[in-house]
Amino acid sequence: MTGEWDFVVLVHVPTPEQLRDTVAGRIAELTGVARTQTMVAFEAFSRHDLEALFSIGQ
């Protein structure tokens, strides 16, 4: 990846509370994580769509 972010993590959780606990309570606490930014998708995407979205054109 290039640009503003170093990593993108896709997290699938059933409730907003579990998202909060995962990001703030686990990911943000990892050594080397300076900050996080959460973006929520309100629509489900197929694995094929996600792979196409993050494909580097190979």
Q: What is the pLDDT of residues 16-34, one digit of tens each?
A: 899 999 999 999 999 999 9
23-46 average pLDDT score:
87
Whole-number pLDDT of residue 52: 80
Determine, yes or no, domain membership for 38. yes
Is 23:38 a contact under the CB 8 Å cutoff?
A: yes
Whose CA is closest to 10, among 52, 34, 41?
41
For the chain, how many structural domains are there in total?
1
Q: Is the pLDDT of residue 57 over 90?
A: no
Please report whether residue 30 resides in a domain.
yes
Instruction: Return the pLDDT at 1.
Output: 58
Answer yes or no: is 2 within a domain. no
**Residue 58 in this model has a pLDDT that exceeds 60:** no
Q: Which range marks the domain in which residue 49 is found?
A: 16-53
Query: Does 49 fall in a domain?
Result: yes
For residue 3, being part of any structural domain is answered with no
